[in-house]
């Protein structure tokens, strides 16, 4: 009986599932954060206006060419294939057995980075041109403009897409089982193999995957709301003076 087996497997092997889920969450959180950082760096570099000086122009164009290649290659190949190529590639080249967990995080990070780079670029472009102009007009350079004016707005706009990447990562870390990273899919396979109960084991896995992605989605939605701030503002009156000026200043 299936239900019995589900309960049996869940009660007997829950530490394995839990460890697998932990690894999955660990890799996808770090991978998403790293990918997000990579995406922002690449996105900011790719939006630098083309300078007038010839040598600067050549430097920028070559950097952009490298970044474009990176984005295109990693978006254009499946992560499961990248995992094999990078993992076995490094073993072949350096003759050392790299840490599988590290390899997994590395692969998820650069893969997410490639997607995030395009998302960030889109986010930056979507910010009104007037915001750039106003920032330039008070003397900010490209990086100040990005850091204090454009990116905070762009990041707010790309938050839903970033959440999406996170959810995709939770699911897609399952492909890392090909390099034997002990994430949820790998653990489930082991459990299933021990008992020859594939449906039951993977049914439990699917429930765990869903709980993780659903929770993450909710948390991100909450953060989005928080970032938007309160609908109303308080009027600045004398007795509130110190306090309000304090809090207003802290936002910078």
Partner 1 sequence: MEKIIEVQHLSKSFGTNEVLKDINFSVSKGEVVCIIGSSGSGKSTLLRCINLLEKPSGGNILYKGVNILDDKHDIFAYRTKMGMVFQQFNLFNNHNVLGNCMVGQIKVLKRSKEEARRIAMNYLKVVGMDQYVNAKPKQLSGGQKQRVAIARALSMEPDVMLFDEPTSALDPEMVGEVLKVMKKLAEAGLTMLIVTHEMEFAREVADRVVFMDKGVIEEEGPPEQIFNNPVKERTREFLKRTLEKM
Residues found near partner 1 in the complex (CB under 8 A)? 53, 128, 130-131, 133-141, 144, 148-149, 152-153, 156, 229, 232-237, 244-245, 247-249, 251-252
- Both tokens of 69, joined, read 């290649």
Q: How far from each other are the two terminal CA atoms of the chain, in whole angstroms?
A: 61
Using H for helix, E for strand and C for coil, what is the string for 7-34?
Answer: HHHHHHHHHHHHHHHHHHHHHHHHHHHH
Q: Which is nearer to partner 1, 15 or 130 (CB)?
A: 130
Shortest separation between residue 43's beta carbon and partner 1, angstroms: 17
Kindly tell me the sign of the dihedral angle through the C-alpha atoms of 21, 22, 23, 26: positive
Q: Which is nearer to partner 1, 148 or 198 (CB)?
A: 148
Shortest separation between residue 149's beta carbon and partner 1, angstroms: 5
Shortest separation between residue 150's beta carbon and partner 1, angstroms: 9
Q: Which is nearer to partner 1, 22 or 152 (CB)?
A: 152
Q: Which is nearer to partner 1, 97 or 128 (CB)?
A: 128
Shortest separation between residue 242's beta carbon and partner 1, angstroms: 10
Say whether 68 sits in a helix, a strand or coil.
Answer: helix
Instruction: Show Cβ contacts of residue 112 under 8 Å, excluding neighbours closer than 6 positions.
Output: 31, 32, 34, 35, 36, 38, 39, 165, 169
């Amino acid at each position: 009986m299936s239900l019995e087996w589900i309960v049996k497997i869940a009660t007997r092997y829950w530490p394995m599932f839990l460890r697998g889920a932990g690894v999955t969450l660990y890799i996808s959180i770090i991978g998403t954060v790293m990918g997000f950082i990579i995406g922002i760096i690449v996105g900011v570099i790719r939006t630098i206006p083309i300078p007038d000086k010839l040598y600067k122009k050549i430097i920028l164009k070559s950097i952009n060419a490298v970044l474009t290649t990176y984005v295109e290659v990693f978006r254009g190949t499946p992560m499961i294939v990248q995992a094999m190529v990078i993992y076995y590639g490094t073993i072949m080249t350096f003759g050392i057995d790299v840490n599988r967990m590290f390899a997994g995080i590395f692969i998820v990070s650069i893969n997410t980075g490639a997607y995030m780079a395009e998302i960030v670029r889109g986010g930056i472009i979507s910010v009104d041109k007037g915001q750039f102009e106003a920032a330039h007009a008070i003397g900010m350079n490209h990086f100040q403009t990005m850091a204090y004016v454009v990116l905070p707005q762009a990041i707010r706009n790309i938050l839903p897409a970033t959440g999406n990447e996170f959810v995709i990562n939770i699911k897609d870390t399952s492909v890392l089982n090909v390099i034997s990273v002990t994430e949820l899919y790998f653990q489930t396979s082991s459990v299933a193999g021990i008992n020859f109960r594939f449906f039951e084991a993977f049914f439990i896995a699917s429930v765990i995957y869903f709980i993780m992605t659903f929770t993450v989605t909710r948390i991100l939605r909450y953060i989005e709301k928080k970032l938007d701030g309160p609908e109303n503002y308080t009027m600045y009156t004398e007795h509130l003076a110190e306090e309000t000026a304090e809090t207003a200043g802290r936002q910078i």
